[in-house]
Amino acid sequence: MSDIMTVASRVRDYLQLHNPALILTLSEGQYFELSDEVMDAAEDLAKDITIRKEVTGRAFLPEDARLPAQPTILWAKMMKDNIMVCHEPISNAGKVRVVAYSGYMPPLILGEYAPGSVEASINRASPHKEHAEINEMSRAATVVLVAATLALINAPRITKRVVAGTRQSRRAVARKIGANPEQWHRVEWDLTKPKVERGERLGKGWHMPLHYTRGHWRRCEEGRGKAVLLPGKGWHTWVDGYWSGHPSYGIKRAVYAPRIGEKGAGGDRHAAFEGSEAAQ
């Protein structure tokens, strides 16, 4: 069974043969292995971002989707033999560049985004023949998913970081890659301090499972806050999506079932952003 240390070792072996200069990136990064539960929630959040883009034409990426380390290296079981290396490009301060590193093909820049804005660009280029199989929609979907994942990592109320693997395994991989043994983390739910959220009840009442409330339009009065006049619908303000509840009471999955004539969880939902080609 693979884990982040096994996959990172495979990536390092590939780079050693094809591009040794990039091994330095592996040695400088902080590694985060994401539990299945965290990735499930990140996928829910990514779907919400994508659906909002399709419905409203604008999709703000989470303000919390920032780098917890420079660079940040992510891995989950769903990524198989790939790790996502996220860093701030020298040429674009404040942005997050997402690069897929693999144990069997050259690294590929997927795209860049600015946390808390709609500004994102997807790399359409395929400099190597192996990259042609990764289409633009998959690249866009991965960039959004990475942004959602980083937002969760940066939410201390919901998640926690624990040491990944045994000390012996961390030291063995660290020697091979050139990293510090303490750079390896596993991100999972923090079940130690359940908190009551707005709308929940104490005592003889009930507690809500962790769930993500999608961003939505709410009717409001003209001139109030960021009121927007929607054609034929009156004045509304946008309420950003938010997490509520706690995983210690379970996790409530989102279900997206758009009506006929609407875009939503259909096959084109992954084309989340259109933008300029990211620099190689």
The count of domains in the chain is 2
pLDDT tens digit string along 94-139? 899 999 999 888 999 999 999 888 777 888 877 776 666 677 788 8
Query: What pLDDT does residue 250 have?
Result: 63
In a domain, 274, yes or no: no
- % residues pLDDT > 90 (the chain): 21
**pLDDT: is 74 or 124 the higher one?**
74
Pair 73, 30: CB distance under 8 Å:
yes
In a domain, 263, yes or no: no
In a domain, 271, yes or no: no
First to last CA, the chain: 33
pLDDT tens digit string along 149-197? 998 888 777 788 888 777 778 888 778 887 778 788 888 887 676 555 5
Torsion of CA 176, 6, 9, 132, to 10 degrees: -170
In a domain, 212, yes or no: yes
Specify whether 71 is located in the same domain as 107. yes
Query: What pLDDT does residue 195 have?
Result: 55
**pLDDT: is 73 or 133 the higher one?**
73
Specify whether 154 is located in the same domain as 200. no
| Residue-range definition of the domain harbouring residue 19 | 4-190
Query: What pLDDT does residue 90 have?
Result: 83
Residue with tokens 């420079």: 70
Specify whether 178 is located in the same domain as 54. yes
Specify whether 186 is located in the same domain as 159. yes
Pair 122, 108: CB distance under 8 Å:
no
DSSP-derived pairing of the beta strands 30-34 and 184-189: parallel
Question: 10 Å Cβ neighbour count for 32?
Answer: 28
Specify whether 128 is located in the same domain as 211. no
Distance CA 159, CA 217 (A): 28
Check pLDDT > 50 for residue 47: yes
Distance CA 145, CA 164 (A): 22
The 228-230 sheet, strands edge to edge: 216-219, 234-239, 228-230
Query: What pLDDT does residue 262 have?
Result: 42
Q: How far is CA 26 from the centre of its chain?
A: 19
Query: What pLDDT does residue 279 have?
Result: 34
In a domain, 270, yes or no: no
Residue 246 binned pLDDT confidence (cut-offs 50, 70, 90): low
Among 11, 5, 146, which Cα is nearest to 82's?
A: 11
Q: What is the mean pLDDT of residues 66-94?
A: 90
Check pLDDT > 90 for residue 61: no
Specify whether 75 is located in the same domain as 213. no
Residue 264 binned pLDDT confidence (cut-offs 50, 70, 90): very low
At 76 the three-state DSSP class reads coil
Question: 10 Å Cβ neighbour count for 254?
Answer: 16
